[in-house]
Amino acid sequence: MSSSSMLRNVRTALSTNKYMTAGLAIVLADLVFGIIGALWTPYPPNAMFNPSQPPSLAHLLGTDGYGHDVFSEMMADTLPTLLVGFAVGLGNALIALVVGLVGGYYGEGIWGAVIDVATILALTIPGIILLVVIGAYFASAKAALGYGVVVLALSLTGWAWGAKVIRSQVLSISKEEYILASKIVGERSSRIIFGQVLPPVLPLAVGGFLFGTLYGILSLVTAEFWGVIPVSTQNLGTMLSLIASSGAYLTNQWWWILGAMLPILVLAVGIGFMNIGFDQIADPRLKEQKTTSQEKIQVSTDEGEIEVLLKETS
């Protein structure tokens, strides 16, 4: 697939792919909700009311165990959480794309061996464990672990799986006849990589960004839950940490738990739809297989064969 055809597919994705449209709309709605929460909330997040009150017209998601309005907290905490996730997803995708392209294209040389070793090292160091170690160091130095350190740590450890997938695809593409012909006629490696190898693997990088975003958010929430990040920070992990410390799950304060999890669940649904859409854009045969299957069922129905099969199955 050429770069021009790839761009045409991307431009027409919103109008032709319902999964992409639905997924992007859900993700953007979640992001807009967070932006609004950064600018305005029904009550100040630190305002005090009667604690542990169930949802009502005055407090749409009730109040937490400390008397804060849960809906206002959710609005205020959504944007920082999403921004960390997007930053981690972007970092993972860029590193995986560069490593996968270089490692796949120069797979037989020294660069391929170096990248193989680096990928194995990255796979053996979980990002959350690295955060725990860094958090302990910052705690001993009496310094707060900021979002920048979190993004850097998760980006440096979360790219390996995506790089392996991209590298295997690039290795296969590099053996195609048109790539070999370009090498024979003396085409520059950079021109081959960016013009002929990169477009087919871009959907893999986009998929890496989407799931890297979820990885970043879940890692941030987990680090906050474990106390690696100070509770004074503002994100959905802070809410979950306070829920655990106050035992809200034992007192059936479901609205507090829902407020901490709802933006993450909405984002996960949107990313899932977007990933399906990108798969169909990158491989149009997925749509063709579905259409062909439906046509065959219709033909069989006209001939009276499929009706008997369906009755026997039911």
Local confidence pLDDT in tens for the 314 residues of the chain: 555 555 565 666 566 788 989 999 999 999 999 999 999 999 998 899 999 999 999 999 999 999 999 999 999 999 999 999 999 999 999 999 999 998 888 877 787 788 888 888 888 888 888 888 887 777 666 666 778 888 999 998 899 999 999 999 999 998 888 888 988 888 888 899 988 999 889 888 989 999 999 999 999 998 888 877 765 678 898 898 889 888 887 888 999 999 999 999 999 999 999 988 887 776 655 555 554 444 444 444 455 544 444 444 43
Is 0.85 topped by the overall pTM?
no
Q: How far apart are CA 25 and CA 44, in angstroms?
A: 28
The pLDDT assigned to 224 comes to 84
Q: How far apart are CA 43 and CA 50, in angstroms?
A: 14
Q: Provide the token pair at 296.
A: 């065959």
For 63, phi then psi, to 5°, come to: -120, 155
The pLDDT assigned to 295 comes to 46
Task: Say if CB 134 and CB 153 are below 8 A apart.
Answer: yes
At position 30, the amino acid (one-letter code) is D
Task: Say if CB 64 and CB 51 are below 8 A apart.
Answer: yes
Map out the domains of the chain as residue ranges. Answer: 3-289
Please report, in angstroms and rounded to a whole number, the separation of the first and last CA atoms in the chain.
Answer: 43
One CATH from 1.10.240.10, 1.10.3720.10, 2.60.120.10, 3.90.1150.10 for 3-289: 1.10.3720.10
The CA-CA-CA angle for residues 99, 105, 111, to 5°, reads 60
**Bridge partners of residue 69, in order along the sequence:** 63
pLDDT in tens, 160-198: 999 999 999 999 998 888 888 988 888 888 899 988 999
CA nearest neighbour of 67 among 246, 290, 216, 258: 246
Task: Say if CB 282 and CB 10 are below 8 A apart.
Answer: no
The pLDDT assigned to 147 comes to 87
Token pair 């046509």 in the structure block, residue: 295
